[in-house]
Amino acid sequence: MKSPNLDARLNVHSPKIISVFRIIVGLLFTLHGSMILFGWPLDMKTPGGTWPGWWAGLIEFVTGLLVLAGLFTRPAAFLASGTMAVAYFWQHWPFNDGPKVFSPFDPRLGGNGGELAILFCFSFLLILFIGPGPYAVDAMRRRRPVTGTATPAARRPGLLDRFRRR
C-alpha cells in the first residue's frame, strides 16, 4: 500500500490554514492597537491625537479588525504592512535616533526591539498577496450572486480588434 505524499495531503488544508493565519494575525494586531488606544489588555495607552503613537494605534486597531473579519482584507493588509515598515524604520532602525544596533531582537538582549514590527510587516505582506482565505467576509461577498443587474450591452468592435487572436 502506497501512502500519498506529504505535500498532497497538506495542500488540501492550505485554504483553511490561510484563514486561521489571517484571523490570528488580525487578532494580535487588533490587541496591539487596543493597548495603545484603550490601555487594554496591557496599559500602553497614549494620549489621544498624539503623533505618531496614537495614530499608529488607531491604524493598528482598525486594520487589525478588518483583517480579522476578512473585510477589505487586501487594502487593510497593505496599510498595516506599510505602517509596520514605517514603525521599524522610524523607531528601530539603527541609523535613526533609536538604538544603534542592527539586531531586531529584544533590547534587553542587546537588540533594537524591532522584531515584532518586522514580523507584522511581512505577515501582512503575505496576506496581501495570498488573500483572506475561504473563511472571510470578502469570500462570502464574492460567492453571493449578483441579481437585478441589467444585461451588459453588446461590445462594439474597436480599432485593434482585427489584430487580436480569436
Q: In this structure, how many other beta carbons lie within 10 angstroms of the beta carbon of residue 61?
A: 20
Question: What pLDDT shows up at residue 112?
Answer: 82
Q: Of residues 41 and 94, which shows the higher confidence score?
A: 41
Question: What pLDDT shows up at residue 149?
Answer: 46
Q: Of residues 10 and 155, which shows the higher confidence score?
A: 10
Q: What angle do CA 151, 157, 161 make, to 5 degrees?
A: 125
Question: Which amino acid, 83?
Answer: T
pLDDT tops 90 at residue 7: no
pTM attached to this predicted model: 0.77
Question: What pLDDT shows up at residue 144?
Answer: 65
Please, what is the average pLDDT of the chain? 85
